[in-house]
Amino acid sequence: MNCSLGNVKRNLQKIKSIAQRAARLEADVVCFPELATTGYALNRSWRRLAETVPGPTSVALGRVASEHGFYLICGIDELEAKSDRIYDSSILIDPNGNLAGVYRKVQLWANEQRYFTPGNSFSVFRTRFGKIGLGICYDLEFPEPARIMALGGADIVFFSSAQPKPMQGMIDAYVRSRAGENTIFACHSNRIGREGHLVFFGQSQIVSPTCMPLARMRGEEGLVQAELDLSIIRKIRKTQLPYFRDRAPSLYSALGKK
């Protein structure tokens, strides 16, 4: 998705258009990029455009989800009214249009740290077909978030991103790694377009628990789709990649001390 910087109305119109195309493909879940409703390179304007959840934008997204009967994941600039803090968030809306979950980005990148407050947890959300986790952009570049969500039962982790060039090779490796090391499906929804010096490269993709790309975009705007058989996760963990069985967590305690 190519966003219009600072133009929430126009971005919602584009989200609606893409959602209509996804509905024709009979999608169960549609995932949009990081800060898809506002655009990314806003800096001080992040605060001006931030909205509470629920709020006008999340309600509008709820109408999109309920109209088409699918789960909708979307990056949003969230305002916490009681504290006046703002978060780089991803919301999960169910097929009835109800808010099913909010994830607040934990691993904030560079300039984001000046404006956003980091989240403090990696949650797993129940859906009608299985458990899913949500991550945002820089979260993907750390192994721990996806591992925590996989240990929490997530079968799929959706990463909404605004990844710019020249990160293509590294991000491709990270998406495959997060899928393979946790034997889960990893879905990466990345921006395209230019904002100032940032050129977002797209290449959204869906990767299997054995690191195989099931579907992948190039650098254009569009939809990437795959049908996922969640039952293979247990089979792979039992017969092919027993990473969870062979973990040695009693030796990993130093990770929390440094």
pLDDT (0 to 100) of residue 256 = 79
Q: What letter represents residue 26's amino acid?
A: E
How does pLDDT run along the chain (258 residues), one tens digit per residue?
999 999 999 999 999 999 999 999 999 999 999 999 999 999 999 999 999 999 999 999 999 999 999 999 999 999 998 999 999 999 999 999 999 999 999 999 999 999 999 999 999 999 999 999 999 999 999 999 999 999 999 999 999 999 999 999 999 999 999 999 999 999 999 999 999 999 999 999 999 999 999 999 988 999 999 999 999 999 999 999 999 999 999 999 888 776
Q: What is the pLDDT of residues 119-174, one digit of tens each?
A: 999 999 999 999 999 999 999 999 999 999 999 999 999 999 999 999 999 999 99
Q: Which of 51, 137, 187, 195 is catalytic?
A: 137
- Quote the pLDDT of residue 62: 98
- In the set 74, 105, 141, 195, the catalytic residue is 105
Query: What is the dihedral angle through the alpha carbons of 78, 28, 147, 243, rounded to the nearest 10 degrees?
Result: 180
User: How far, in Å, CA of 60 to CA of 70, rounded?
Assistant: 14
Residues 22-39 pLDDT 10s: 999 999 999 999 999 999
CA–CA gap between residue 109 and residue 192 (Å, rounded):
18
Q: Using an 8 Å Cβ cutoff, are 127 and 95 in contact? A: no
H runs (alpha helix) in 25-55: 45-49
31 is catalytic: no
Q: What pLDDT is stored for residue 162 in this prediction? A: 98
- Known catalytic membership, residue 34: yes
C-alpha span between 198 and 34 (Å, rounded)? 14
- State the pLDDT at residue 255: 82
pTM score of the predicted model: 0.97
Assess whether 105 carries a catalytic annotation: yes
Distance CA 117, CA 2 (A): 25
Q: Which of 34, 51, 112, 141 is catalytic?
A: 34
Domains identified in the chain and CATH numbers: 8-248 (3.60.110.10)
Output the six-digit token pair for 133.
């986790």
- CA dihedral (6, 216, 184, 125) in degrees, to 10, reads 30
| Three-state DSSP class for residue 108 | coil
